[in-house]
Chains A and B, each alone.
Chain A
Amino acid sequence: MKTSKKKNINFILGISVISVMALFILCGKILPLRDPNAIDASLKFASPSLKHPFGCDNFGREILSRVMEGSFSTFLIALGTVFIGTFFGIIIGALTGYFGGVVDEVLMRINDAIFAFPSILLALLFISLLGPGTYQVVIALGIAFIPSFARIVRGEFLKNRNMDYVKCAKLLGASDLRIMVIHILPNTLKVLLNSVLIGFNNAVLAEASMSFLGIGVQPPDPSLGRMLSEAQAYLFKAPNYALFPGLAIILMVLGFGLLSDSFEK
C-alpha cells in the first residue's frame, strides 16, 4: 500500500520533470531566441541578466538558447540510440529466445562478446571507424546498446514460449511470426518499457560523455556534453557556463529515472 503510493509519487514527479524539460526544449524551438551559434564579441562572458538569463559563453553565445538547443540534440540522440538498441534488440532477442538451439547459441555468444566491452569503449571503436558526427554517434551508441536489450527480450521470450497460451496458439495453427509478434511481444512490454527508460538515461549520459570527449556533436553546434566540455576551461571564470547544461542533464536523467522507478513491478 505504502510502496504503491511512493510509486505514484515517483510517477507524478517523473512526468512533471520530463514535462518541464519538454516544455523547455519546445520553447527553444518556438520562441524567437538568439541563434544558439551566433557569436558576439561584446557579450563575451556576459553574466546572467534579464536579456540573457543564463549569461553568455566565451564566444558571446547565449547560454540559454544553447542549453535549449543542446537539450534537444541530446534528447534526439538518446532517442535514436534507444530506438536502434530496442529495434535490433527485440529482433535478436525474439529469434534467439523463441527458437533457441544453434541460432541462440551463436547469436548469444556474439552478444556476450560485445557485452564484454564497456559500451562507451565499443562506441569509441565505431566512431573511429565511422568518423565523428551526430549521426555516427547515434549509430555507434545504438549498436553498443543492442546487447543489453537483446538479453532482456530473449529472457522474456524464453519464459513465455513454454507457457500454456503459446502452446494453445500453436495448437490452433498460428505461425511462429504471429505467435512472436501478436502473442509474446505484448507480454514483454512491461519489462521492455522499464529497460527502455533506463536505457534512455544511459544514452543521455553516454551522449554527454561522447561529446565531452569531442567526438559527438561537432562544434559550433551545442549538445549538453559538448557545452560542459567547453565550459570546463572557464569553470572558475564563468561557473554559469557549466552549471546550466549540467542542470539540464540532471533533470533529464532524473525525470526518466523516476518514471522507470514507478514502473518497476
Chain B
Amino acid sequence: MKKTTLRVLLFMLMIPVLAVALCGCSGDKKGKGSSIVVGIPQDLEDSLDPHKVEAAGTKEVLFNIFEGLIKPDSNGDFIPAVAQSYEVSDDALTYTFTLRDGVKFHDGSTVTAEDVKYSIDRCADASGGSPLVAAYSNIKDTQIDGNNFIVHLNDPDTEFLAYMTTAIIPQNNKNPDTNPIGTGPYMFVSRSPQENFIVKKFDDYYDKERAAHIENVTFKVIGNMDTVAMELQSGAIDLLPRIPIAQADLLDTKDFTILEETMNLVQALYLNNAEAPFDNVKVRQALCYAIDPQEIMLFVSDGKGTEIGSSMFPAFSKYFMEELNHTYDQDIEKAKQLLSEAGYPDGFSFDITVASNYTQHVDTAQVLADEFDKIGVTANIKLVEWDSWLSDVYNNRQFQSTVVGVDASSLTASALLQRFTSDSSKNFINYSNAAYDEAFKKALAATDDGEKTKYYKECERILSEDAANVYIQDLPEFVAISNKFTGYEFYPLYVQDMAKVRLAE
C-alpha cells in the first residue's frame, strides 16, 4: 500500500522533470537550456555584497553578476557598461559618464542615475573609517546632471577611471549581503553553503552582443583539488580554472582542452612585519636570500610560472620590473651573515600558516621550509581551513607568515601597491615605511603618465629592497575545459567571465 503511493508520487514528480528535460532537448539552438558546471576552490563565504567582498575567489564569481559604469575586458582595456560613454577633463579632475538607456537590474527595475550615485557614494562613504574603495577618498562630490553622472575629484588622478568599475547596485535592495542584484549578464539564483552557487542568464541584458550564451551556470565548490581529474572525467564538472598540473596530466585530451596562462597573482611568503623577528629588515632579507624561486617552480608547477621580485606581476607590463627578480639571488652565506647581524646566529623558528585548499601554496611552503632549513631557520607549516585563514590571517592579522597569492582588484598599479601603505585597511602584513607612503602618494598625485610610472616603480623597488615579503612567482594557470564548450577567455584580473563561454559547434 505504502509502496504504491510512493510510486505514484514518484511518477507524478517525474512528469515535470521529463517535461523540463525534453524542453532542453528541443530548444538547443543558441545554448537554450544549456548548462555548465564550473569548479571553484572555495565557498563564497565572506559576503555577496560586491562593495564589501574581500576574497578573490568570491570576486571572480560575482564578476558575472555585477557591472560598473565601465568594466574591464580581457585585454585589460575598459569598455562602457552601465555608462555608454565617458569623458575625462584635461586637468583629470572631472569624470563625466553618460548613462546608457534602458539598462535593467536583475529584479526588473531600470537603472537610474540615483542608483549610480547611491552605489558610488556608498563606496566613497568614509564615516566607518576608510571608504570601501580606498581610492574614493579622492572624490570631492558626485553629481547627477540629466542623463549624466559627474565625479569631481580633490586631486588630479589620471588613473581614476580604473576605479569606476565599482558595481552599480539598486538603492532599494535591503539585503545586498545575501541577495546580489546587479546588471551583469548573469543573475543570482541560489547559493548552498559549501556546495554551490548558481546563476542563470539575464534575458534583459542591454547588449545582445555581450550577452551570455550558456543558460545556467553552477559554480561548484571543490572539496579536494587532488581528485578533481576524476570529477572532470566523470562529467560532474565541465570547466575548472586553476587545475593542478598533476590533475591536468590525467585528463583525456579527447574530452578536455587545457589552456595555459599566468594567474596574475603575487605569490609570496607574506611576513607579518609588525611581529618579531620579521620587524627586522635583516631577517626578512636573509629569508629572501635563502630561497630560489626557480627551484620552487620546479617542484610546484613543473618549472612553469614567472619569477617576480616585488608586488607586481608581468601582465602589468608597464610597471613590472624584471630587474627586481635579482635583488636577492640565492646566497646561503649572505643569508646566514644577515641572520647573525640581526642577532639570530643560530637561526630561529616560525610558523607558516597556509590555507589547506590551495595545493600550490602548501607545496610552496614545503619547499620554502626546506630552503630555510639550510640557513638554520625552522619553518613550521600550519594548515588551516580557508575561512579560518581569512579571519585569523587576513582580517585579524594573527599570524607570523603565510604563503598566498594576492590579486589586483582593478587594472591599476595601485590596486597592488596601495595595500602596503601604512594606514591601508588591507595592509594585512602591517608594513609601515614612510618613504613608501611618500612615493605612493606622489604616484597618485602625478598627472603625467611617465612620472606616475616612475613613482610606482619606486614603490616596487622599496618593497623589494626592504624585503617586505619573500616574493616568489606569478603562478602558472591551467584551465581545463570540456570540449563541449569553447570561448573561455583569460583576464589580466582574477575573474571568470562565463558570458564568453559558449557551446562548441
Contact = CB atoms under 8 A, between A and B. Distances in A.
Interface of A: 37-39, 41, 44, 58-60, 131-133, 214-215, 218-220, 229, 232-234, 236-237
Given A41-B298, A232-B227, A233-B246, A132 B383 contact: yes
B292 to A, nearest CB: 10
B299 A58 contact: yes
A41 B299 contact: yes
Contacts of A59: 299, 363, 366-367, 370
Contacts of A38: 370
Nearest to B298: A41
Contacts of A234: 246
B382 interface: yes
A237 B249 contact: yes
Contacts of A219: 362, 365-366, 369, 381, 383
Contact of A215 (B225, B359, B383): B383
B281 to A, nearest CB: 28
Contact of A233 (B295, B359, B383): B359
A131 B244 CA distance: 27
A220 B250 contact: no
By Cβ-Cβ distance, the 6 closest A-B pairs, closest first, are: A233-B226, A214-B356, A232-B226, A220-B366, A233-B246, A39-B370
Interface of B: 224-227, 244, 246-247, 249-250, 295, 298-299, 356, 359, 362-363, 365-367, 369-370, 373, 380-384
A60 B366 CA distance: 12
A39 to B, nearest CB: 5
Given A59-B366, A219-B381, A44 B299 contact: yes
Contact of A214 (B227, B365, B383): B383
Contacts of A44: 298-299
A257 to B, nearest CB: 28
A37 B249 CA distance: 26
B244 A233 contact: yes
A156 B254 CA distance: 64
22 contacts: A37-B369, A37-B370, A44-B299, A58-B246, A58-B299, A59-B363, A59-B370, A132-B383, A133-B382, A214-B356, A218-B380, A218-B383, A219-B362, A219-B365, A220-B381, A229-B226, A232-B224, A233-B359, A234-B246, A236-B250, A237-B246, A237-B250
Given A132-B384, A133-B382, A214-B356, 5 more contacts: A37-B369, A41-B295, A58-B363, A219-B369, A237-B250
B240 to A, nearest CB: 14
Contacts of B367: 39, 59
A218 B352 CA distance: 11
A199 B381 CA distance: 29
Contacts of A236: 250
Contacts of B227: 232-233
Nearest to B249: A237
Nearest to B356: A214
Counting chain A CB atoms within 10 Å of each CB, the highest count among B225, B295, B382 belongs to B382
Contacts of B298: 41, 44
Contacts of A41: 295, 298-299
Nearest to A44: B299
Nearest to B247: A233
A141 B324 CA distance: 48
Counting chain A CB atoms within 10 Å of each CB, the highest count among B225, B299, B359 belongs to B299
Nearest to B370: A39
A220 B370 contact: yes
A214 B373 CA distance: 22
Nearest to B392: A131
A38 B373 CA distance: 10
B260 to A, nearest CB: 19
Counting chain B CB atoms within 10 Å of each CB, the highest count among A41, A58, A233 belongs to A233
A215 B362 CA distance: 13
A58 B381 CA distance: 18
B52 to A, nearest CB: 26
Given A39-B299, A44-B299, A58-B299, A218 B250 contact: no
A44 B298 CA distance: 10
Nearest to B383: A214
A123 B362 CA distance: 23
Nearest to B229: A236
A132 B362 CA distance: 15
Contacts of B382: 131-133, 218
Contacts of A220: 366, 369-370, 381
Contacts of B359: 233
Contacts of A37: 369-370, 373
Contacts of B370: 37-39, 59, 220
A44 B303 CA distance: 12
Counting chain A CB atoms within 10 Å of each CB, the highest count among B227, B359, B383 belongs to B383
Contacts of A215: 383
A114 B250 CA distance: 43
A6 to B, nearest CB: 40
A236 B246 CA distance: 10
Nearest to A230: B226
A145 B382 CA distance: 25
B427 to A, nearest CB: 25
A218 B379 CA distance: 11
A237 B250 CA distance: 8
Counting chain B CB atoms within 10 Å of each CB, the highest count among A215, A220, A234, A236 belongs to A220
B118 to A, nearest CB: 40
Nearest to B354: A219
A174 to B, nearest CB: 51
Nearest to B365: A219
A90 to B, nearest CB: 34
A215 B225 CA distance: 16
A39 B356 CA distance: 20
A234 B362 CA distance: 16
